[in-house]
C-alpha cells in the first residue's frame, strides 16, 4: 500500500511545504535563523545579523492584522447568534463601524461580499430608521458610510454618487446602480419606407433571430432577445429595412411627431437614428436639415440616410449655435443635446469616474446656448408646427429641468404635453431650486424602471417670434 493510504504508519509528518508557505516567510526562514542569529552557511545573513528583512517584517505585521479583523467579525457574529437565539422580535442590529476602523479599511482591501452585505444592511436601516437605528448614531453617519461603500462596490466617484443620492431614495438608488451594470436589450426600428414590421419580423425569424414587438407604445419597434446571425449585418439591415436604435431614442421623435411637408431641423443628428425616424414619419416629403458639429460622426449620418432610403435630407456640419443665422423658420426642431451621459452608464462605464462638477456645468452651459438657438430657429407662426423637443440622455437635473426652465424665462415659449403617457414626470423642485410648474409635463425615463436608457424629454411650443429683452417673470 502507498504511504498515504497505509493505516499502520503513525508518524506525524507535520505541515507540508504549501502549508508552511502560507504561515509566512518566517517559518521558512527559521531554518536559517538559529536563536535569532544567522546560520553559518548562509552568507547573505552575514551582513544583517539579528535583523529581519523588510519582507519578514511585513509578514509578521500581516499575521497580526487579520487577528484584529477577526475580532470585529467575531463581535458581529456573536451579536447575530445572540439575536437568533433570543426572541424573533429582535431583528439583527447593523453596527456602524467606528471612525478608526473605517480609516483602517482605507488601507486594507475589503472583500466585495462584505461590502455588499453592509450596503444591504445599511439600506435596510435607513428605510426603517426609527426602529432600526443604533442609539446615538445620526442618519448622516449611515449615509456617509453608504456613500463610500457604494463608491467602492460599484466603482463610482464620490461626486456622482452624491448626485445620485440626491436624485433617488436609497432603495431605488440600489436598483438604479444595479441596472447600470447590465446592458439594456437590443432594439431595432422598422423602416416603414421600405417594409412593414410584420414582414421584417418574419424575415428575421427565418434567419434565426429571436424577437418580439417592443411594446404597446411603439408600432415600429422590435426587441431582439438573441440571434444566431449578427443583427447589424443581415441582408435586411443592409438593404435598409431596419435600424439599430435604443428604445429611448424613439421617444423624442414620437413626441415631436413631424408632419408631412414640414421643414424640420435636427440639430445634433449623429448617428442619424432620430433623423431617419423623422423622415419615415414624414414619408420622405418636406425637408429635414440634419446637422452635427462633429464632421467624423456625420459620415454615419450620410451612411444611414442613404441606406434607409431617405431622400428629403440635407446634411450639414455647423455648430448648432449658429443656427438661426444660417437658416431659420423651421416648423419643428429636435435638439438631442450633448450631455454628460449619466443615463447611459451601462453603455459607457467611463462616465462613472470621469465626470465631475465642472463637466456637468460645462454641459449645462452649452445646452442653454443650444436651446436658445433652437428656439430662435423655430417659426412660431408656422401653420402646422412651432414645436421644439429638447431631450438628453442624462438624468441630472442641471442638464434637464434647469435648462428648460432657463429657456422658459428667456423666450416666449411654453411647455406642452409630450404625448408619452409613461415615464416619470420631471421635477418641479429639487434641493434649493424651484422650477416652473409646467415642468411636470416633461418626462424622465430610467433604466431600472422602464428598462431603457436614462432619458429626459420636454416639448416646447413657441408662442411668438419676438425675443423678449427683459427676462420674463416665472410667476412663482
Cα angle, residue 248 at apex, residues 266 and 368 outer, rounded to 5°: 50
Q: Which of 187, 453, 223, 185 is nearest to 345 (CA)?
A: 453
Q: Which of 108, 182, 102 is nearest to 149 (CA)?
A: 102
Told to judge if 393 belongs to the known catalytic residues of this protein, a careful annotator would answer yes
Q: Kindly name the residue from 151, 339, 391, 393 that is annotated as catalytic.
A: 393
Rounded Cα gap, residues 346 and 454, in angstroms: 10
- Tell me whether residue 58 or residue 238 sits nearer to another protein (CB atom): 238
Q: Do 118 and 153 touch, CB atoms closer than 8 A?
A: no
Q: How far is the CB of 244 from another protein (least distance, A)?
A: 12
- Tell me whether residue 137 or residue 321 sits nearer to another protein (CB atom): 321
Q: Which of 230, 266, 265, 223 is nearest to 246 (CA)?
A: 223
- Tell me whether residue 99 or residue 295 sits nearer to another protein (CB atom): 295
Strand (E) or helix (H) holding 278: helix 273-281
Q: How far is the CB of 156 from another protein (least distance, A)?
A: 35
Q: How far is the CB of 390 from another protein (least distance, A)?
A: 23
- What is the grid cell recorded at 160? 456622482
- Tell me whether residue 126 or residue 378 sits nearer to another protein (CB atom): 378
Q: How far is the CB of 277 from another protein (least distance, A)?
A: 18
- Tell me whether residue 76 or residue 319 sits nearer to another protein (CB atom): 319
- The CA distances from residue 372 to 97, 251, 331, 402, 409, in Å, are 51, 22, 16, 13, 11
Rounded Cα gap, residues 124 and 7, in angstroms: 54
Task: List, in sequence order, the alpha helices (H) in 157-239.
Answer: 158-167, 170-179, 197-207, 235-238
Could you list the residues known to form a binding site, using ranges: 268-274, 292, 319, 336
- Cα torsion at 146, 151, 157, 159 (round to 10°)? -10
**DSSP track, 433-474:** EE--GGGGGSEEE-HHHHSS--EEEEEEEE--SPPPSSPPP-
- Tell me whether residue 247 or residue 313 sits nearer to another protein (CB atom): 313
| Whether residue 271 has a cis bond before it, omega within 30° of 0 | yes
Q: How far is the CB of 304 from another protein (least distance, A)?
A: 9
Q: How far is the CB of 228 from another protein (least distance, A)?
A: 14
**Residue 229: CA atoms inside 13 Å, Cβ hemisphere, count?**
15
Q: Do 175 and 448 touch, CB atoms closer than 8 A?
A: yes
Rounded Cα gap, residues 286 and 392, in angstroms: 26
Name the residue with cell 440600489. 174
Q: How far is the CB of 417 from another protein (least distance, A)?
A: 30
Q: 265: helix, coil or strand? A: strand
- Cα torsion at 231, 302, 362, 146 (round to 10°)? 0
Chain residues binding another protein by CB under 8 A are 203, 232-233, 235-236, 238-240, 263, 285, 287, 289, 295, 298-303, 305-307, 309, 311-318, 326-327
Could you list the residues known to form a binding site for S-adenosyl-L-methionine, using ranges: 268-274, 292, 319, 336
Q: How far is the CB of 393 from another protein (least distance, A)?
A: 23
Q: Do 343 and 447 touch, CB atoms closer than 8 A?
A: yes
Handedness of CA 120, 124, 126, 132 (dihedral sign): negative
CB atoms inside a 10 Å sphere around CB 252: 27
Active site residues: 393
Amino acid at each position: 500500500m502507498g504511504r498515504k493510504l497505509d493505516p499502520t504508519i503513525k508518524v506525524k509528518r507535520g505541515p507540508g511545504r504549501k502549508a508552511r508557505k502560507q504561515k509566512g516567510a518566517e517559518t521558512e526562514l527559521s531554518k536559517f535563523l538559529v536563536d535569532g542569529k544567522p546560520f553559518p552557511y548562509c552568507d547573505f545573513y552575514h551582513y544583517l545579523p539579528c535583523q529581519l528583512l523588510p519582507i519578514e517584517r511585513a509578514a509578521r505585521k500581516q499575521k497580526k492584522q487579520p487577528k484584529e479583523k477577526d475580532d470585529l467579525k467575531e463581535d458581529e457574529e456573536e451579536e447575530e447568534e445572540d439575536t437568533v437565539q433570543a426572541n424573533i422580535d429582535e431583528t439583527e442590529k447593523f453596527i456602524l463601524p467606528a471612525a478608526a476602523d473605517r480609516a483602517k479599511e482605507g488601507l486594507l482591501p475589503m472583500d466585495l461580499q462584505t461590502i455588499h452585505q453592509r450596503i444591504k444592511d445599511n439600506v435596510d436601516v435607513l428605510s426603517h430608521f426609527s426602529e432600526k437605528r443604533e442609539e446615538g448614531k445620526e442618519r448622516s453617519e449611515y449615509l456617509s458610510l453608504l456613500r463610500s461603500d457604494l463608491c467602492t462596490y460599484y466603482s463610482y466617484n464620490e461626486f456622482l454618487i452624491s448626485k445620485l443620492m440626491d436624485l433617488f431614495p436609497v432603495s431605488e438608488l440600489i436598483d438604479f446602480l444595479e441596472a447600470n451594470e447590465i446592458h439594456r436589450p437590443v432594439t431595432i426600428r422598422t423602416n416603414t419606407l421600405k417594409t412593414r414590421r410584420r414582414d421584417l419580423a418574419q424575415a428575421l425569424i427565418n434567419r434565426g433571430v429571436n424577437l418580439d414587438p417592443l411594446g404597446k407604445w411603439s408600432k415600429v419597434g422590435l426587441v431582439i432577445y438573441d440571434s444566431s446571425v449578427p443583427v447589424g449585418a443581415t441582408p435586411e439591415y443592409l438593404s435598409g429595412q431596419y435600424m439599430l436604435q435604443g428604445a429611448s431614442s424613439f421617444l423624442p421623435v414620437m413626441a415631436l411627431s413631424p408632419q408631412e411637408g414640414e421643414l424640420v431641423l435636427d440639430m445634433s443628428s449623429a448617428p442619424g437614428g432620430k433623423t431617419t425616424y423623422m423622415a419615415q414619419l414624414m414619408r420622405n416629403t418636406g425637408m429635414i436639415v440634419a446637422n452635427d458639429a462633429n464632421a467624423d460622426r456625420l459620415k454615419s449620418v450620410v451612411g444611414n440616410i442613404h441606406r434607409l432610403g431617405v431622400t428629403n435630407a440635407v446634411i450639414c456640419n455647423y455648430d448648432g449655435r449658429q443656427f438661426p443665422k444660417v437658416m431659420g423658420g423651421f416648423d419643428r426642431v429636435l435638439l438631442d443635446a450633448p450631455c454628460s451621459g449619466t443615463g447611459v452608464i451601462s453603455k459607457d462605464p467611463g462616465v462613472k469616474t470621469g465626470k465631475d462638477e465642472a463637466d456637468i456645468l460645462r454641459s449645462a452651459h452649452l445646452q442653454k446656448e443650444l436651446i436658445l438657438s433652437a428656439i430662435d430657429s423655430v417659426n412660431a407662426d408656422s401653420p402646422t408646427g412651432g414645436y421644439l423637443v429638447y431631450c438628453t440622455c442624462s438624468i441630472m437635473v442641471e442638464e434637464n429641468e434647469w435648462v428648460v426652465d432657463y429657456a422658459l424665462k428667456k423666450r416666449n415659449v411654453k411647455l406642452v404635453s409630450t404625448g408619452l403617457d409613461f415615464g416619470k414626470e420631471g421635477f418641479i423642485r429639487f434641493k434649493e431650486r424651484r422650477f416652473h410648474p409646467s415642468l411636470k409635463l416633461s418626462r424622465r425615463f430610467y433604466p431600472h424602471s422602464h428598462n431603457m436608457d436614462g432619458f429626459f424629454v420636454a416639448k416646447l411650443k413657441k408662442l411668438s417670434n419676438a425675443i423678449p429683452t427683459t427676462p420674463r417673470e416665472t410667476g412663482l
